Amino acid sequence: MNTPDPHSTADPWQVLGIGQDADDEQIRRAYLEKVKEYPPDRCSDRFQQVRHAYDQLKDPYRRAQHLILGGSPDQPLESLLGETAPARRFVGPGPWLAALRDTGKAR
């Protein structure tokens, strides 16, 4: 029988049988159910895969990293900062108030 690689790029949500919108409590419950189904003394390979999936999803940073980068999160999330558009400079309420005065809505 071909045993699964515990560090494979399998979808951790699929391994635990939950959706990507699951919260921390749902992830923990799914993990506990899978541990009962695949105890480490009888199904060590499957247990390792379940444990690896839980390790990826229990930490919010790693969960976000896996969601954003996909199955091979080798790249830190901070590396994506250069790929986004630069933030706009805050100019204060002046332009907004001027625009309201021009429309007659500001006093």
Mean model confidence pLDDT for the chain? 76
Q: For 19-54, what is each residue's pLDDT tens digit?
A: 888 889 999 999 999 999 998 888 889 999 999 999
**Residue recorded with tokens 């379940």:** 50
Q: Where are the domains of the chain?
A: 1-74
SS3 content of the chain, % helix, strand, coil (to 5): 55, 0, 45
Structure tokens at 17: 């049988």
Fold (CATH) for 1-74 = Helix Hairpins (1.10.287)
**CB-based contacts of 66, cutoff 8 Å, min separation 6:** 12, 56, 57, 73
* pLDDT bracket for residue 4 (50, 70, 90): very low
The answer to whether 68 touches 77, Cβ cutoff 8 Å, is: yes
